[in-house]
Every structure is written in structure tokens, then in C-alpha cells.
Amino acid sequence: MANEMPKDLGIPRWTANAMFNQTSVTEFLLDFSDSQELQPLIFAIFLAAYLAALIGNLLVIMLVALDHHLHTPMYFFLMNLSILDLGTISVTVPKSMANSLWNTRSIPYAGCVAQVFFFFFFATANFASLTIMAYDRCIAICKPLHYETIMNRRACVQMAVSAWVSAILYSSLHTGNTFRLPFCHSNIINKFFCDIPQLLQLSCSDSYLSEVWLLVFGTCLYFSCFLFIIVSYVQIFSVVLRIPSKQGRQKAFSTCIPHLLVVSLLIFTAAIAYTKPTSNSPSALDLMVTVMYAVLPSMANPIIYSIRNKEIKAALGKFIGRKLFTWKKVSIFF
């Protein structure tokens, strides 16, 4: 019959299907490493990074939730940031570890859609939260007498919810606009997770330009948030430098430096990842750049906030002390 699918044309099945239906791709291949010998090493690196991010962020969440001294706007947003960091790394790394462990590369079409949506959602909400945290520090240092009034519980919850809702809408727009495109050039993604720039390379339609314009629009939004952070810190530094006592200046700076480091790390790694031209074949440099962007911030953020934060250290010390005391009591009892 004329409408029957050719049984064997000497080309991959998905390509033969594409001749008749350009959107018939049912799975993608995450081809981020062409060396089988490196798979155990990649698995070990991802496992160590994921465990470090999991332990660090869960510890921050637990300390903020249990210690009433940390029930302040700054630590509320820090806990929110840790939740988003956990989400960001959990979207990509476990699937990559499973692929390395089972020596496979495939990810279902629906799984790729989910990865794009949730990664974009968590990344956008993360940056929005960092912008809100800059505003929080600006109010705390520049208007300390009005801080409790402006940054009340209701305002904090509203700002956090607005960041999440905005991220959901923005991620839905990108995901829907990307996956309405037909994919027929290939189904191989040279990354360890599904990302929009690589997916656009696989499209065989000129309508991908609409997604490019969305990415440009998103870049403008991110840049606006970045400018807001810069303006906030200009105001903060102008006030801090006028503080007469050295101890007062150091205390003010100590609450800002971790946030500045986290923002700088996220912007630096994202800029490298998305300004680097996409390649047609996997390389060690591509893998390193992607890991820096998708894994490093989630792993490093709790460390950055804990090293220079006396309140977090004190809460951690009290928590460990209570656990040791409870363990000793149980040991004596038995």
C-alpha cells in the first residue's frame, strides 16, 4: 500500500518515521560522554556532588525550621533558596547517575519535557529569590527602623509565592514553545540533561526563532533582576561605608558577602554555559561547563552561607550538642 511505512531503509527508525511525521520522536539520547571507561568516574562525581548538595541543603532547611532564632526574613528566604537548590540538582543528576550506572543514554520524550520545565522553573525561581534576598538586605541595612514593618511575615510569604508563580508561568511558556517544534535533525542531545539550546538544534522548523526571541526576552528579564541587585548593593555599600565603627561595618558586610558570592557564582556559571557555542559532539569541556552551571551552585550555596554565618554555626552547634547529649543518655540507659 502507498501509505505503509517502509520497513527498512537502512536508516534509524526515528528518522524513517520523521519522513512521514516530523514529531514522531519518542525519546532522546543524552550523549554527553563518548567514553565508556569514564562512566564509573562520572557516576562517582555526580554521586558525591548530589550527596553534598542533599546533605548541605537539607541541613540548612532543618536548622532554619527548628531553631527559633533563625525565624527571620533573611533565613526564611535562605530556606526557600535551599529548597530550590535541591530541586535544581534533583531534576538532572539522578537521571544522569542512573544512565551512567546502567550504561544507557535514553530519556523518554515526556521525561525530557519534564526536565526542561522543572529545570527552567527552579533556575528562574532561584534567581528571583536571590533578587528578593538583595531587597531584604537593602531594607535591613538602609532602613533598619522600618525593617520589621516592611518585611513582615505576610510580605515575605507573598514575595516567595510570587517568585514561584512567576517561575511556573515563565517555564511553562518556554517549555510549551520549545516542544511544539518538530524534531527531525537528530534525537541526540550533547548534554547530560535536556536543555533548550540543544533542543533547538534538533528542530527542523524555522519557527524555532520564536523560542530564540523568548530566550532573548528572558535574558533581558534576568539582566533587569541583576541590575536591581546591583542598585541594591550600591545603596547598601553607601550606607555601610558611613558606619563609624569598624565592628559595625564588618557585621553589615558579613550578612551581604555570602549573598554576593552566591549571586556571582550563579551568574558566572550561567554566562559561561549559555554564551559558549553549542557543539555537535560531546567533549570534556562541555561536560565541565554544564556541571559548573547545573550542579556547582546547588552544592556550593549551603557551604558559602554556612562558612561566614555565625547564626548558622551556632544553630548547628546546638543541634549537634543536643544529638550527642541524647545519644549519651541512651547509651547510659542501656
Residue with cell 520549545: 178
Is position 68 within any domain?
Answer: yes
Residue 190 has pLDDT above 50, yes or no: yes
- Our CA dihedral for 123, 124, 129, 135, rounded to 10 degrees, sits at 130
Residue 282, pLDDT score: 60
Q: How many CA atoms lie within 13 A of 262 on its CB side?
A: 29
* pLDDT score for 206: 66
Residue-level pLDDT at 280: 62
Average pLDDT estimate for 8-13: 38
Q: Give dist(CA 265, CA 101) in Å, integer.
A: 30
Q: Is residue 253 part of a domain?
A: yes
- Residue 152 confidence (pLDDT): 93
3 pLDDT more than 50: no
User: Which residues are 189's β-sheet partners?
Assistant: 30
pLDDT at position 11 = 37
- Report yes or no on 170 lying in a domain: yes
pLDDT band at 259 (very low <50, low <70, confident <90, very high): confident
Task: Give the CATH number of the domain where residue 136 resides.
Answer: 1.20.1070.10
Strand partners, 203: 183
Helix axes 284-294, 246-275, angle to 10 degrees: 140
**pLDDT over 80 at 334, yes or no:** no
16 within a domain of the structure (yes/no): no
Tell me the pLDDT tens digit for each residue of 24-73. Answer: 567 777 766 655 666 778 788 889 999 999 999 999 999 999 888 888 99
Confidence at 287, pLDDT banded by 50, 70, 90 = confident
Neighbours of 284 (CB within 10 A): 10
Res 324 pLDDT > 70 = no
* pLDDT of amino acid 36: 66
- Amino acid identity of residue 263, one-letter, is V
What average pLDDT does the segment 147-175 reach? Answer: 92
User: Can you give the pLDDT at residue 33?
Assistant: 60
Give 140 or 269, the one with higher predicted confidence.
Answer: 140
pLDDT of residue 317: 78
Say if residue 5's pLDDT is above 60.
Answer: no
- d(CA 276, CA 297) in angstroms, rounded, equals 18
Least confident of 13-22, 150-159, 184-193: 13-22
Q: What average pLDDT score do residues 178-184 get?
A: 81
Residue 315 within any structural domain of the chain: no
pLDDT of residue 8: 39
- Of 111 and 17, the one with more pLDDT: 111
Report the chain's C-alpha Rg in angstroms: 23
Q: 93-97, 128-132, 195-199: lowest mean pLDDT where? A: 195-199
Distance CA 75, CA 65 (A): 9
C-alpha cell at 14: 526515528
Residue 107 main-chain phi, psi, to 5 deg: -140, 130
Mean pLDDT score across all residues of the chain: 80
pLDDT at residue 100, rounded to an integer: 80
- Structural domain total, the chain: 1
Span 65-92, average pLDDT? 92
Residue bearing cell 551568574: 267
CA distance 115 to 186: 19
For residue 4, being part of any structural domain is answered with: no
Q: Is the pLDDT of residue 174 over 90?
A: no
Domain membership of residue 248 (yes or no) is yes
The pLDDT score that the predictor gives to residue 98 is: 85
* Enclosing H/E stretch for 20: helix 13-20
Let me know the angle formed at the C-alpha of 312 by 308 and 316, rounded to the nearest 5 degrees: 125
Contact 84, 105 (CB under 8 A): no
C-alpha cell at 11: 536508516
Q: Which amino acid is at 177?
A: N
Neighbouring C-beta atoms of residue 16, cutoff 10 Å = 16
**Do residues 113 and 179 lie in contact, with contact meaning Cβ atoms separated by under 8 Å?**
yes
Give me the amino acid identity at 76: F
What is the model's pLDDT at position 106? 84
Query: Would strands 106-108 and 27-30 be described as parallel, antiparallel, or unpaired?
Result: antiparallel
**Residue range(s) defining the domain that contains residue 278:** 25-310
pLDDT per position as a tens digit, 201-255: 887 776 556 667 777 777 788 888 889 999 999 999 898 888 888 887 887 788 7
**Is 323 part of any domain?**
no
